Amino acid sequence: MDDVLRIVLIGFSGTGKTTVARLLAERLGWERYDTDEALEREFGMTIPEVFAERGEGVFRAAEREQLVRAVARDRVVVATGGGAVVDPATWGPDLLGRAGTLVVALDADPETMIARLRQQQAEQGAAVERPMLAGVDPRARIADRKTRRPEAYDRAAITLIVDDVPAESVAGEVAGLLLDPTAATEPAVRLMTTSSRSDIFIAPGLSSGLGAMTRDRWPKARRAWVISDTNVAELHWQGVKAAHGDAGFDTRMRAVAPGEGSKSLATAGELYDWMLSGAIERGDVVVALGGGVVGDLAGFVAATVLRGVGFVQVPTSLLAMVDASVGGKTGINHRAGKNLIGAFYQPPVVVVDPRFLATMPHRSLTEGWAEVIKHAVIQRSTPGGERGDLLRFLERNAHQLRVLAEPATTYLIRRNVALKAAVVEADERETGLRAFLNFGHTLGHAIEAADYRYLHGEAVAVGMRAATRIAFDLGLAGEADARTLDRLIETYGLPTTVEVDPEVAMGKIGSDKKRVSGSQRWVLPKAGGGVELCDDVAEDTVRRALDAVRVESTEN
């Protein structure tokens, strides 16, 4: 976002705006402008004293004038007072809506804000208590204001959840929103396993440099074999061909039919014939251009033709960007079930360009949110996932994300990819921790494979609801956990129920590849976040959960 001239930090008192603004300004080499500090100089007293002696009306008028002065500057980081943005007029084109202004909201739990405010008051030795701390129940007051003010704060381009996050880290995240993708030489995420390395580049507009990135990794390669589906190829083939042509590749393309039906031995055989008849060499590169189906299929072919050739993942769907393109799982389906034939094959290069999402059909885009929600639920059980902020991030940024606004979309994709990469690094071959990524997939795959009328993400969304109900029956999760999941699934437009023959679905569960020593392994959510593995859930418990998310067919 190289058109940003100023950054304005908003949020409740106690979310760390002043400290983050100072650190961010130092990092960027920009001016810092703190409206509360400017007001204290103007009035010659502290903010609590201004409220007590002059009243809130006088304070708000002066605060607005300070904000006008702040946003008139360029290359400035502005820290605002907690209530500065509640007035809708503040968002006009002369203030926060001014061109070149990036508004970032910081959000924290009431307990976090109270602790920080009390620390600030103790350090300042203020004689007058801060307004947010006044009275016998400041937590209830803050919670009430958070309930009444979200529409104001949620106008921000992005809201970051900052509980237990050092101010230096928050400043780094905000600075990262400004990175120029065309200047990126280092991957956003580097996935390191004992067998290989996967460099994952994530930024809007990266696909224009795809050929150069492929050439950088394989300097002597002659040909790029692009595998796509007919829908994606129509939209993006010419751009990918031109990018590789500019980098000196002889570029060839084969498009398969869209949908799970293409993940078959027959389609893989057709691709082998195409490549082998074209004299593919081990030094060549296979490029997967498409969603999860294309990535799984092309990855399987790349892993097996000539016992393995170069492989680049270029995901074009949200589901593939946050999940399928990362981690090296490849595969095709069998009549006995989904993904039962495959290989682990890490792509050395993954290029994620969020701009591809703008060309996706609505239903295909929507299904991807299921994997994003899955990551948010399992976060606390993943390496480095103690922050546990992704569920709240999805709630607070729902509007921006559903319209694919930047920088929220790219930030979320980076966080999801980093989460999955951390899991894969810890357990590449799914012997333990990586199984957590299967939350919602046991019943989800069964629903999907029953007749393939539901997309993968749609089936996983319903599978997560069923798994949560199993967890509730077993006493692992509470009603609040189920309500949070249901709310997110509905917010992001995913189905909450399915029409499926229960006997067919139960039969598909029996052929699931995740069975261990004959027992079905379930990934179940825990109260307060995270998941755990559970074997041998009673069949009647599974059937009750399936019934809870199943509706009878309306067909006659």
Catalytic residue among 441, 469, 508, 550, which? 441
- Token look-up 């008051």 returns 121
Given 17, 223, 252, 445, which residue is catalytic? 445
Residue with tokens 């209830």: 140
371 is catalytic: yes
Check 223, 252, 414, 456 and give the catalytic one.
456
* 17 given a catalytic annotation: no
Task: Identify the bridge partners of residue 352 per DSSP, sorted by sequence position.
Answer: 202
Catalytic residue among 223, 375, 420, 465: 420
**Closest to 498 measured CA to CA, from 535, 538, 536, 451:** 451
Q: 397 catalytic, yes or no?
A: no
Residues constituting the chain: 556
Active-site residue identified among 438, 448, 469, 550: 438
Exactly one of 17, 236, 329, 338 is catalytic; name it: 329
Q: How far is residue 516's CA from residue 456's CA, in Å, rounded to a whole number?
A: 23
Query: In angstroms, rounded to a whole number, what is the distance separating the alpha carbons of residues 377 and 485?
Result: 8
Active-site residue among 307, 479, 503, 552? 307
Which among 387, 369, 381, 388 has a CA at the least distance from the CA of 427? 381
Query: Which candidate, 89, 113, 91, 88, places its Cα nearest to that of 103?
Result: 91
Q: Which of these is catalytic: 430, 458, 465, 550?
A: 430
- Establish whether 42 is a catalytic residue: no
Q: Is 325 in a helix, a strand, or coil? A: coil
The runs of H, that is alpha helices, within 286-429 are 292-304, 318-319, 362-367, 369-378, 390-396, 398-402, 408-426
- Tell me the two tokens of residue 538: 């009673």
List the catalytic residue out of 241, 252, 355, 434: 434
Compute φ and ψ for 201, nearest 5 degrees: -100, 130
Active-site residue, 420 included: yes
Centre a 10 Å sphere on the Cβ of residue 348 and count the other Cβ atoms it contains.
16
Our answer to whether residue 445 is catalytic in this structure is yes
Closest CA to 492 of 319, 290, 344: 319
Please indicate whether residue 438 is annotated as part of the active site: yes
- Is 430 known to be catalytic? yes
DSSP 326-367: SS-EEEEEETTEEEEEEEE---SEEEE-GGGGGGS-HHHHHH
Q: Is 509:446 a contact under the CB 8 Å cutoff?
A: yes
Q: Rounded CA gap, 448 and 128, in Å?
A: 62
Known catalytic residues? 307, 329, 371, 420, 430, 434, 438, 441, 445, 456
